[in-house]
Amino acid sequence: MSEITPAAETAAPHRYTADLAADIEGRWQDFWQAHGTYEAPNPSGDLDGDPETAARPKKFIMDMFPYPSGAGLHVGHPLGYIATDVYARHQRMTGHNVLHTLGFDAFGLPAEQYAVQTGTHPRVTTEANIVTMTAQLRRLGLGHDKRRSFATIDPGYYRWTQWIFLRIFNSWYDEEAARARPITELVEQYEGGVRTTPDGRAWAELTVAERAGVLDGHRLAYVAQSPVNWCPGLGTVLANEEVTADGRSERGNFPVFKANLRQWMMRITAYADRLLDDLDLLDWPEAIKQQQRNWIGRSEGARVDFPVAGADRPITVFTTRQDTLFGATYMVLAPEHDLVDAIVPDAWPEGTHQVWTGGHATPAEAVAAYRKFAASKSDVERQADAKEKTGVFTGAFAVNPVSGENVPVFIADYVLMGYGTGAIMAVPAHDVRDFAFARAFELPMRCVVAPTDGRGTDPAQWDDAFASYDATLVNSVGSGVSLDGLGVTDAKAVITAWLADRGIGEGTVNYRLRDWLFSRQRYWGEPFPVVYDEDGVVHALPDSMLPVALPEVDDYSPRTFDPDDADTSPEPPLSRNEDWVTVELDLGDGVRTYRRETNTMPNWAGSCWYELRYLDPHNSERLVDPAIEQYWMGPREGQPAGGVDLYVGGAEHAVLHLLYARFWHKVLHDLGHVSSVEPFHRLFNQGMIQAFVYRDARGIAVPAVEVEERDGGWFYQDQPVSRVLGKMGKSLKNAVTPDEICAEYGADTLRLYEMAMGPLDVSRPWDTRAVVGQYRLLQRLWRNVVDEATGAVTVSEAEPDETTLRALHKAIDGVTGDMAGLRFNTAIAKITELNNHLTKTGGPVPRAIAEPLVLLIAPLAPHIAEELWSRLGHTASLVHEPFPVADPALAQDEAVVCVVQIKGKVRARLEVPPTISDTELEAQALADPAVVAALGGAAVRKVIVRAPKLVNIVV
Ligand code: ANZ
């Protein structure tokens, strides 16, 4: 229809074509840049000076910032950036001060791997990538405040990342006050004797190293020797969050082993409850909240001690069902539990059941063999709900503290060392896994919670455990306590008190969350701002020595190993630079020699606080000016924790980045550096743009652009290929770049297409052939304002007709709601409808319609809108022009159809105004000739009216 033939071009030299779009877009991008159109004001600067600006509400809008990869952007990447830009533009037009910018998350593994592959220093490749990406993003016309952009690798930025690290290092968590406090206040408590040292000696009597040891036990960042995830294939240790459920590295998919290493940890566990509770204050997708809750994994239960004959300490279990204590008929320790060796006797007790021994001659042999077997499985395999339960008897018995019975102690791999206490009391009648195990090992079961499903109380007759919470206790009397007849909750309270009275148990809360492993053996990361003295004591560097610059070195490659060789250990690349590692410093007690920390921070560090730096990017005195932070992020009505107003990004960051950033933010809040309690008030996860992947007979992806579709199949170089929907990317040879689409249609078309593809949170397949649809919308819009032959503006000054006016106000009304609700696809549908109406009506479009139409589409297609706005005679940019406001009377449907039923049968349809009252509608219905005829004089018993849509007459 609007194919551009050379003939058509001569006939219509002012048609909206890709060339015209490129011209318009380039000019307006230059204009915006030259005029600082998107620069957000700050208090104590522009805001204080201008009462009108100061009076406006604020909106801080953010994207999860990109990682500047060597491959550049494909059309999937900017989906979220376009969406936030549309939203931000609408917010500007509805009178908000908008802060929207974009930086780069530029440290981390991929940049380093890319650098190693290409043999170029990561700084060089990363900076080049940033230049490419910046140009690609500029082409899209994103309204970012460019003054506020930065990369996490800028020394001016990571100086503050290191500064925050030092605050975290120099603080401790005061459980009583439930907040972080400076470590100096803990020292005061020890000095003043308010708090006793672990071994009871006076603080003054402790050596420097001993004091350091005590404080390290409290610091929120600390070095510890602990079992960590070691990934030889990557040559670095990893956080739990970076290890997949099947025990491999999320990046690279290499095996991960547990190794006991000295590493930096962050005490995120101190914040477990607050991280959990404050989720309730956030406007986030429920699924993400749930993932965080699960990751934190708070379980309320109890610890219970079971004495073991011959052992010097009891087995302590963690249970969430202490009410079932009378039903604990055996126990299980994790195979790695350190009590195992202490309780294993020399020989099997008399009469030990054959299945319990696994056929081994002694308990020690059985335990050793079983440990070997269990070590070969990952935690996930061990926990998999396989009916097949394995384990072996240790030869030892413990005493159930309430029933007084001897219960056998097993080791089994379904109990994990890393959870609770690594030991359980097994209640086979009421726990599914224990039931399966007890069946396999012919262990006794006792019913202590009366089944409510009629199965009776003899577990020998059951097919599975009765695991309900909603039932009453039975068979639970003894040792001066009775739980019989109590509900689960009451029984828990009674037994917990009984245990506490005897000092053999207490109510506790257990978390799945572990402290965050914070060091990596990489070059391309933030150096730690600490040094070690000759005794290995850590010293924080003073703020005046920040930033600790990452040295420019030639050899930045990580030392990697055979991915399957667990007997290797990490080697930080920075350790190869002796000149840098050894330093002479005066830290207050004269010049001494120190060694630098050679690990670097994980790539999550830079993204833990970047929202704060956007607020005040050039501040060299402070992390962020408090007044500025308060203005853009402070708590306010409807946002009790404060934070960014809208944060858009992929759902894959559910626990990693979002949990870490929340933790850092809370520490900064506790220490008084920020007024907000949470970094991100509203979170929105955009869907993914998918693309078809074509594979040849060998399963190898072939270039998607070269695939031909014919006879209902797909062919590449005349060979049939298969087609599936997958991710878009270079490796699958199906990437489409925004540059290509911009060249062919312009950025406004690309923006519209991406927003029109479907609801923002849903994944959608890319279809280059469909892009032209949005191009045509813009061509028609253009034609409704500009004469294609002469370039003259064609709008008339005449009053619009009623129908057109109503169509406009309906569109305004709908688009306004859609913009606020991020429903850009439906907003585009409404704009298209209005525009089509104008095209169909023909004749010059009245200015009173054309201008609001241009404003309506401006957030979505800002370049063409600016161009038309200026051609319509306006001298200022429309970026801050008020968004059109719908007249409710005109926005409503002129008439709605009311159905009149008699005895359930539709007898008439009335056209009525949507605002009609019940009484009036009833009168109209009863007077309608069709209704009168249908009633045929019958007496009306009752009229049910649901204005404006339904009248039901009962006769
Ligand atoms: C007795 C019992 C009876 C249990 C019953 C459950 C049902 P959550 O909710 O996930 O915290 N458990 C404790 N530590 C374990 C470990 N290291 N490895 C495997 N399982 C472990 O689960 C807590 C329950 O999981 C605990 O409560 C314990 O089994 C088990 F009818 O104790 B229960």
Testing ligand 1's pocket by substitution, the residue of 319, 382, 407, 435 carrying the most ligand atoms inside 8 A of its CB is 319
CATH number at residue 317: 3.90.740.10
Question: Among 493, 510, 527, where does a domain finish?
Answer: 510
Minimal-distance CA residue to ligand 1 atom 33: 319
Residue 435: the pLDDT is 97
Residue 461: the pLDDT is 96
Residue 383: the pLDDT is 67
Q: For ligand 1, what atom is nearest to the CA of residue 320?
A: 27
Task: Kindly give the distance from the C-alpha atom of residue 318 to the centroid of ligand 1, in angstroms, as a whole number.
Answer: 7
Q: Is 2 in the pocket of ligand 1 (CB under 6 A)?
A: no
Residue 385: the pLDDT is 56
Residue 106: the pLDDT is 94
CATH number at residue 935: 3.10.20.590
Residue 40 within any structural domain of the chain: yes
Task: Kindly give the distance from the C-alpha atom of residue 300 to the centroid of ligand 1, in angstroms, as a whole number.
Answer: 11
Question: Among 628, 656, 685, where does a domain finish?
Answer: 685
176 and 147 in one domain?
A: no
221 and 132 in one domain?
A: no
490 and 469 in one domain?
A: yes
Q: For ligand 1, what atom is nearest to the CA of residue 427?
A: 3
Residue 601 within any structural domain of the chain: no
407 and 440 in one domain?
A: yes
Residue 719 within any structural domain of the chain: no
466 and 450 in one domain?
A: yes
Q: Where are the beta strands (DSSP E) in 537-652?
A: 538-540, 582-586, 591-596, 646-649
Minimal-distance CA residue to ligand 1 atom 27: 319
Distances (CA, A) of 721 to 703, 736, 769: 11, 19, 20
Testing ligand 1's pocket by substitution, the residue of 389, 419, 476, 512 carrying the most ligand atoms inside 8 A of its CB is 419
Q: Is 427 in the pocket of ligand 1 (CB under 6 A)?
A: yes
669 and 579 in one domain?
A: no
Structure tokens at 260: 């006991």
Task: Kindly give the distance from the C-alpha atom of residue 96 to the centroid of ligand 1, in angstroms, as a whole number.
Answer: 52
Q: Pick the closest to residue 29 from 105, 125, 182, 137 (CA basis).
A: 137
Residue 740: the pLDDT is 95
124 and 101 in one domain?
A: yes
Place of tokens 């003295």: 533
Distances (CA, A) of 180 to 162, 193, 271, 356, 514: 18, 20, 9, 50, 18
Residue 735 within any structural domain of the chain: no
Q: Is 335 in the pocket of ligand 1 (CB under 6 A)?
A: no
Residue 38: the pLDDT is 97
Residue 821 within any structural domain of the chain: no
Residue 107: the pLDDT is 94
Q: Which residues contact 877 (CB under 8 A, 6 or more apart)?
A: 31, 32, 35, 37, 866, 869
Q: Quick one: how far is CA 417 from the chain centroid?
A: 28
251 and 180 in one domain?
A: yes
415 and 386 in one domain?
A: yes
Task: Kindly give the distance from the C-alpha atom of residue 901 to the centroid of ligand 1, in angstroms, as a whole number.
Answer: 61
Residue 647 within any structural domain of the chain: yes
The conformation of residue 150, written as its DSSP 8-state character, comes to: -
499 and 452 in one domain?
A: yes
Testing ligand 1's pocket by substitution, the residue of 293, 407, 424, 446 carrying the most ligand atoms inside 8 A of its CB is 424
Residue 332 within any structural domain of the chain: yes
Minimal-distance CA residue to ligand 1 atom 22: 320
Low-confidence stretches of the chain (pLDDT beneath 50): 1-3
Task: Kindly give the distance from the C-alpha atom of residue 453 to the centroid of ligand 1, in angstroms, as a whole number.
Answer: 23
Q: Which residues contact 190 (CB under 8 A, 6 or more apart)?
A: 197, 203, 214
Residue 720 within any structural domain of the chain: no
Question: Among 654, 685, 716, where does a domain finish?
Answer: 685
Q: Which residues contact 367 (CB under 8 A, 6 or more apart)?
A: 335, 340, 344, 392, 394, 411
How many domains is the chain partitioned into structurally?
A: 4
CB of 616 closer than 8 Å to CB of 42: yes
Cα–Cα–Cα angle for 125, 127, 133, nearest 5°? Answer: 100
**Residue span of the structural domain in which 949 resides:** 893-954
CATH number at residue 656: 3.40.50.620
Q: For ligand 1, what atom is nearest to the CA of residue 418?
A: 17
Minimal-distance CA residue to ligand 1 atom 9: 299
495 and 559 in one domain?
A: no
Residue 1: the pLDDT is 43
CB-based burial label for 460 (10 Å; 0-12, 13-18, 19+): exposed
The reported pTM is: 0.88
202 and 317 in one domain?
A: no
